Amino acid sequence: MARFLVFLTLSYTAGILLGRYIPANAAICLAGGALAWAVWQMRSQRQGLSALIPFLLLFIAAGALAFNLAVNKVSGSVQAYHQQQSTLVGMVADAPLWHDDRVVFPLALGSVIVRGEARAAAGTV
């Protein structure tokens, strides 16, 4: 039983790591298919590795969904203004970062101005 929980934990962790590449809709479809497969495996009373695989897929899908929900829950993120012309307003948060041909100033956001309308934002850019 302990090994089973280790494999489920590793599958959930893998799902979180893969959640960046698996959209929420695909994760829901994967979870539905894995759940149906798991129910079929339990009804046919199969044992061994073939019974474990659908549960692993189910936990991978659960991890991917957890990642997607966590990313979507972030409010005031600059990601919401992707490919829109905007102005970032804030304070310089840290010392400048010197690169080969440029200097980058980390900015702690206070707001984002989009089409003349100021909206609250949080984070560091």
pTM, two decimals, is 0.57
**What would the DSSP string read from start to end of 83-122?**
TS-EEEEEEE-SPPEE-SS-EE--EEEEEEEETTEEEE--
Taking only the tens place, the pLDDT of each residue in 54-78 is 888 999 999 999 998 887 665 556 6
Cα maximum dimension of the chain = 65
The pLDDT of residue 73 is: 63
